[in-house]
Every structure is written in structure tokens, then in C-alpha cells.
Amino acid sequence: MTDSPHIPARRQPWPDNAARPVATPLQPSVVYATLDPDALDAQYEGRTRGYAYAREGHPNADVLAATIDRMEGAEGGVVTGSGMAAVGVAMLAALKAGNHVVGGDQLYGRSLRMLTEDLPRLGISTTFADATDTGAIAAALRPETRMILIETVSNPTLRVADLDGIARLARDRGILLAVDNTFTTPRALRPFEHGADIVIHSVTKLLAGHADATLGYVAARDPALTEAMRTATATWGTTPSPFDCWLAERGLLSFELRYDRAEATATRLADHLATLPGVARVLYPGRADHPDHNRAGALLQGRFGNMLSFELQGGRAAANAFTRACPVAFAPTLGDIATTLSHPASSSHRALTPQARAGLGISEGFFRVSVGVEPAETLLAEFEAGVRAAG
Ligand SMILES: *Cc1c(COP(=O)(O)O)cnc(C)c1O
């Protein structure tokens, strides 16, 4: 045979290798070839283990899911193409028309939108209530309430939910408790140990940790619900990309180091900001002046996290001067290895009226900081320079 000038349509076989790779291989294959129809039957009937089509599952998603399962004390969790896909899969798997959902009134913006606009369109009614107050959540329940969705630490005022009280209420009333654990992470809190039925993550944030992979994770205590979530992912197509899973798994290898370092720096930065003229207030659950400090101490066992917020005097003009003078990236995300700064009034909370924002304590001078792993001294000096320029 002469050399073909064409690109060969048959792939070369993977080289034999008697040794195993130390790093997780990246497997982008969409389909898997089987020997014959009997072998495929055996696979689909669970007598052998194998993959068939990547939307129904692939090795990089399973390796990542098993890693997060171990961290959360979960079994059979499902990785999805984004954090919102994880919220959506939890809803699709657990709810049906006629059900009612109670959400915390400071949920992540897109989750608020899903509960406000999308679930009602599907015949699922929703109510919001203050998750720091179990009585307010109890008052929002109806006979047809099927789920309560809360975040342990809220964005951007970092209020701490009464998780234990709400978990008791949910158990007494036979209602599913879903906890979005993105801000707290299993380093600070494992919601299943506090009675949650469903745990949700935006893996995009602290877990993957490098602002280069968009992913989510959802797990349930009840194996039947877990199976329904796996089916919902395959049916609605919220499957993650193998490459993103591979990146996230690599990011997780350094998660605890990143978290501990960022948390230590956040504590110092919060205390430093509070001493600067021009800073009206600082919100960090680790500080004694935070409204939920005592609850955070008990619930998070001293793991107060990498997120803090502060308010500059001088409104929008001071905010503009601050972001121009402070070298920290002004970018609406969190959990990156580098520190990022967000301004809720112009991003996550821009759809709210100024009055509604004021009700949440979000002024034009309000910033949220996701602290990264930079040297603390550098970061403190950069923030100080920004605050001086703003004042
Ligand atoms: C970012 C975020 C989400 C959504 O995650 P994506 O990966 O951006 O889809 C959900 N909940 C919380 C608390 C978040 O911070």
C-alpha cells in the first residue's frame, strides 16, 4: 500500500502501556465502541461496567463526582455543566406541577430568577423568606410545600442561615431541604451532617478554584432521588465537558491549601479595612460586629471563609475611584485563586430598585471581595491604596 495523501479516517489504537498514569487521563470521547450487542446489553443491564455515550456519563465526570462525594460525605453525586444546571437538575428531579418551594430571600441571583420566573411557568409556586429566621421560613410553608432551598452564607451580605433550625423544621414537616453550599464549601460545613437532603455546588467557584471551568454538582441523601438526578442530567443534557471536569479535579488537589490561605488573609483584610478612614462598615462572619457572628461560630466551627464585604463612604464616585486605583481584578465572580472584587449595585443586584437594594444594605459604595491566595501584605497594601484614592 502506498502512503495516502488523505487524513486517515480510522484512528490509531491507543499505545499499550504496562504502567499506569499518575495524573488522571483526559477522556474526551463522545462514544464508546463495544464488542457486540450482547456486550452492550450486559453494560446497560449493569452486569459489566462501561460507558456508551458521553451525555449519559463519562470517566472524567465520574472521577470528579467521586472526589466531591468524599468531601461532602455523599454517595453517587452528579456533576453538571454549571452550578445553575445543578440547581435546575435538583428541581427537575424532585418537583412536579402543583408543588410549592420556599427559597431563602437572599439566594444567588439566577436561583432567585429560576424560582421567580421559571418554576411558576411549570406550575410550581414559590415563596421567599428570611433564612436567618426559622420562624419566617415556617410561616411561608404550605401543605403543598415540597422543598426549601437555602444558601448557608448569603451573597453579598454574608448572612448566615439558621441551618439547624430549618433542617429540624423540614424533617418535622417531611419537606426536602436543599442547601447550596458554594460559599461555605465542605471545608467549613457539610450540610448532610446537619440534616440536608440535597447538596448543591457551583464547582466553578472555590472547588475548581481557577476561574477556567464552569461546572456544578448535586447530590441527594435518598438514592432514588440521586438516580432521578442522574436521569435528569442525561435527559435535559446538563452533562459537563470532560476537559472542565479534568481541570476541576486538578484544581481540587490544592483546594484545602487555597481555602485555608484565603481564609487567613480574609480575616486580616477584614480587620484592616475596618481601621481605614472612608470605610463605613465591614461584613465578615468572623468579626464580632457581624450580625450572625455567634451563629457562624457555632455552625461553621470557626471556618469563616474567604468572602467579605465592605462599604465605602462617598457612593458611586468613591466606588469608581476605588476600582481604578486598586489593582485587584474587578470581575463578578468568586472563588478564583486570585482575589476578585464585585460591586453588586452594578452587577448581581442591578435589576433591583435602589430601595430594594437599600433594604438589603447594598449601597453604591458596597463591594464584595473574594479573597485569593496572594501574599496578605501585598493585598492589604493594594486595598489601602484603593481606599485612600476613593476618599
Ligand atoms: C455562582 C453560583 C451559582 C451558579 O453557578 P454557575 O457555575 O455560575 O452556574 C449558584 N449558586 C451560588 C451560591 C453561586 O455563587
Q: Is any ligand 1 atom within 6 A of the Cβ of residue 182?
A: yes
Whether 21 is in a domain gets the answer no
The predicted model gives 355-370 an average pLDDT of 94
The predicted model gives 75-101 an average pLDDT of 98
Is 108 noted as a catalytic residue in this protein? yes
C-alpha–C-alpha distance, residues 51 and 211, integer Å: 29
Q: Is 12 helix (H, G, I), strand (E, B) or coil?
A: coil
User: What's the pLDDT score for residue 10?
Assistant: 84
23: nearest Cα among 52, 63, 55, 76: 63
User: What's the pLDDT score for residue 200?
Assistant: 98
Q: Is any ligand 1 atom within 6 A of the Cβ of residue 108?
A: yes
Shared-domain flag, residues 203 and 91? yes
The predicted model gives 24-50 an average pLDDT of 95
Residue spans of beta strands (DSSP E) within the chain? 78-80, 100-104, 125-129, 145-151, 176-180, 198-202, 216-220, 279-283, 307-312, 329-330, 340-342, 366-370
CATH number at residue 115: 3.40.640.10
User: What's the pLDDT score for residue 5?
Assistant: 67
Which residue has its alpha carbon closest to ligand 1 atom 5?
Answer: 83
In this structure, of 107-111, 196-200, 241-245, 348-352, the range with the lowest mean pLDDT score is: 348-352
Shared-domain flag, residues 106 and 195? yes
Tens digit of each residue's pLDDT (9 = 90 or more) over 260-271 = 999 999 999 999
Shared-domain flag, residues 312 and 242? no
- Whether the per-residue pLDDT at 8 is higher than 80: the answer is no
Provide the domain limits for residue 356.
255-390
Q: Is any ligand 1 atom within 6 A of the Cβ of residue 370?
A: no
pLDDT band (50, 70, 90) for residue 3: low
C-alpha–C-alpha distance, residues 244 and 209, integer Å: 12
- Answer whether 206's CB lies under 8 Å from 260's CB: no
| Cα of 104 from ligand 1 centre, angstroms | 15
pLDDT band (50, 70, 90) for residue 156: very high
Shared-domain flag, residues 248 and 259? no
Shared-domain flag, residues 203 and 261? no
Tens digit of each residue's pLDDT (9 = 90 or more) over 324-335 = 999 999 998 999
Q: Is any ligand 1 atom within 6 A of the Cβ of residue 202?
A: yes
Shared-domain flag, residues 130 and 203? yes
Domain boundary among 223, 252, 281: 252
CATH number at residue 358: 3.90.1150.10
For 135, the enclosing helix (H) or strand (E) is helix 134-140
Q: Retrieve residue 308's grid coordinates.
A: 467579605
Other beta carbons within 10 angstroms of residue 3's beta carbon come to: 5
The predicted model gives 82-103 an average pLDDT of 98
Shared-domain flag, residues 320 and 205? no
- Whether the per-residue pLDDT at 1 is higher than 60: the answer is no
Non-local (6+) Cβ contacts of 215 within 8 A are: 64, 79, 80, 81, 82, 83, 202, 203, 204, 208, 240, 244, 245, 248
Average of per-residue pLDDT values in the chain? 96
Shared-domain flag, residues 236 and 338? no
Is 53 noted as a catalytic residue in this protein? no
Whether 2 is in a domain gets the answer no
Domain boundary among 252, 285, 300: 252
User: What's the pLDDT score for residue 12?
Assistant: 85
Sign of CA dihedral 133, 135, 139, 140: positive
Which residue among 68, 80, 84 has the greatest number of ligand 1 atoms within 8 angstroms of its CB, and so is best to mutate?
84
| Cα of 4 from ligand 1 centre, angstroms | 50
Whether 235 is in a domain gets the answer yes
Question: What secondary structure does DSSP assign to 150-178, as a single string?
Answer: EESB-TTT--B--HHHHHHHHHHHT-EEE
Whether 176 is in a domain gets the answer yes
- Whether the per-residue pLDDT at 75 is higher than 80: the answer is yes
Shared-domain flag, residues 67 and 206? yes
User: What's the pLDDT score for residue 351?
Assistant: 86
Is 96 noted as a catalytic residue in this protein? no
Q: Is 149 helix (H, G, I), strand (E, B) or coil?
A: strand
Is 205 noted as a catalytic residue in this protein? yes
User: What's the pLDDT score for residue 11?
Assistant: 86
Phi–psi pair at 234, nearest 5 degrees: -70, -40
Q: Is any ligand 1 atom within 6 A of the Cβ of residue 106?
A: no
pLDDT band (50, 70, 90) for residue 2: low
| Cα of 155 from ligand 1 centre, angstroms | 11
Other beta carbons within 10 angstroms of residue 43's beta carbon come to: 16
User: What's the pLDDT score for residue 352?
Assistant: 86
Non-local (6+) Cβ contacts of 51 within 8 A are: 32, 57, 58, 59
User: What's the pLDDT score for residue 9?
Assistant: 80
User: What's the pLDDT score for residue 211?
Assistant: 97
Q: Is any ligand 1 atom within 6 A of the Cβ of residue 214?
A: yes
% residues pLDDT > 70 (the chain): 98
Q: Retrieve residue 170's grid coordinates.
A: 423540614
- Answer whether 148's CB lies under 8 Å from 137's CB: yes
Shared-domain flag, residues 187 and 292? no
Whether 200 is in a domain gets the answer yes
Whether 20 is in a domain gets the answer no
Q: Retrieve residue 4's grid coordinates.
A: 495516502
| Cα of 25 from ligand 1 centre, angstroms | 27
Task: Pick the catalytic residue from 105, 130, 162, 180.
Answer: 180
Phi–psi pair at 255, nearest 5 degrees: -55, -50
- Answer whether 123's CB lies under 8 Å from 98's CB: yes
Tens digit of each residue's pLDDT (9 = 90 or more) over 169-218 = 999 999 999 999 999 999 999 999 999 999 999 999 999 999 999 999 99
Number of domain units in the chain: 2
Domain boundary among 224, 252, 280: 252
Q: Which atom of ligand 1 is nearest to the CA of 335?
A: 15
pLDDT band (50, 70, 90) for residue 4: low
Shared-domain flag, residues 116 and 238? yes
Other beta carbons within 10 angstroms of residue 136's beta carbon come to: 17
Within 141-292, residue ranges assigned H as helices are: 163-173, 185-188, 223-236, 242-252, 255-275
Q: Retrieve residue 232's grid coordinates.
A: 435528569
Which residue has its alpha carbon closest to ligand 1 atom 6?
Answer: 83
Non-local (6+) Cβ contacts of 5 within 8 A are: none
Shared-domain flag, residues 307 and 355? yes
Whether 310 is in a domain gets the answer yes
Whether 15 is in a domain gets the answer no
